[in-house]
Amino acid sequence: MAKYLLLKHYRGAPAAVNDVPMDRWTPEEISAHVQYMRDFAARLEKTGEFVDGQGLAPEGTWVRYDGEGRPPVTDGPFAETKDLIAGWMVIDVDSYERALELAGELSAAPGAGGKPIHEWLELRPFMAAPPTITECPH
Amino acid sequence: MDEALLRSLTPGVLGILVRRGADFAAAEDAVQDALAEAVRVWPAGPPRDPKGWLVTVAWRRFLDQARADAARRRREGLVDEQPAPGPAPAVDDTLQLYFLCAHPSLTPSSAVALTLRAVGGLTTRQIAQAYLVPEATMAQRISRAKRTVSGVRFDRPGDVATVLRVLYLVFNEGYSGDVDLAAEAIRLTRQLAARVDHPEVAGLLALMLLHHARRAARTAPDGSLVPLAEQDRGRWDTGLIAEGVAILQAALARDRLGEFQDQAAIAALHADAPSAEETDWTQIVEWYDELTRLTDNPVVRLNRAVAVGEADGPRAGLAALAALDAALPRHTAAAAYLHERDGDLATAARLYAEAAHKAPDLAERDHLTRQAARLNTRQGR
pLDDT attached to residue B90:
52
The verdict on a CB contact (< 8 Å) between B353 and A23 is yes
The verdict on a CB contact (< 8 Å) between A34 and B349 is no
The verdict on a CB contact (< 8 Å) between A34 and B222 is yes
Distance CA B187, CA B203 (A): 15
Is the pLDDT assigned to residue A115 strictly greater than 70? yes
Query: Looking at residues B337-356, what average pLDDT do you find?
Result: 96
Chain B neighbors of A55, CB-CB under 8 A: 362, 365
Confidence band, pLDDT 50/70/90 cuts, at residue B231 = very high
Q: In this predicted complex, what is the ipTM?
A: 0.78
Q: Check if B356 contacts A (Cβ < 8 Å).
A: yes
pLDDT attached to residue A42:
92
Is the pLDDT assigned to residue B83 strictly greater than 70? no
Residues B108-166: pLDDT tens digits?
999 999 999 999 999 999 999 888 889 999 999 999 999 999 888 877 778 899 999 99
The verdict on a CB contact (< 8 Å) between B370 and A58 is no
The verdict on a CB contact (< 8 Å) between B374 and A35 is no
Note the pTM of the prediction, 2 decimals.
Answer: 0.86
pLDDT attached to residue B287:
98
Please tell me the distance in Å from B349's CA to the nearest CA on chain A. 8
Nearest to A22 among B223, B369, B381 (CB): B369
pLDDT attached to residue B85:
47
Q: Check if B51 contacts A (Cβ < 8 Å).
A: no
* Burial category of B65 from C-beta neighbours within 10 Å (exposed 0-12, middle 13-18, buried 19 and up): middle
In this structure, the number of other CB atoms found within 10 A of the CB of residue A27 comes to 19
Please tell me the distance in Å from B297's CA to the nearest CA on chain A. 25
For chain A, what percent of residues have pLDDT higher than 90? 72
CA angle B350, B342, B313 (to 5 degrees): 135
- Cβ-contact B181, B153 below 8 angstroms: no
Residues B254-310: pLDDT tens digits?
999 999 999 999 999 999 999 999 999 999 999 999 999 999 899 999 999 999 999
pLDDT attached to residue B82:
47
**H or E, element range at B300:** helix B298-312
Contacts 24+ apart (CB under 8 A), B285-291: B285/B311, B287/B262, B290/B257, B290/B262, B291/B259, B291/B262, B291/B263, B291/B266
The verdict on a CB contact (< 8 Å) between A26 and B353 is no
pLDDT attached to residue A132:
76
Distance CA B322, CA B306 (A): 12
CA angle B265, B271, B275 (to 5 degrees): 130
pLDDT attached to residue B155:
74
Is the pLDDT assigned to residue A75 strictly greater than 70? yes
- Cβ-contact A100, A65 below 8 angstroms: no
* Angle between the N-to-C axes of helices B259-272 and B199-212, in degrees from 0 to 180, rounded to the nearest 10: 30
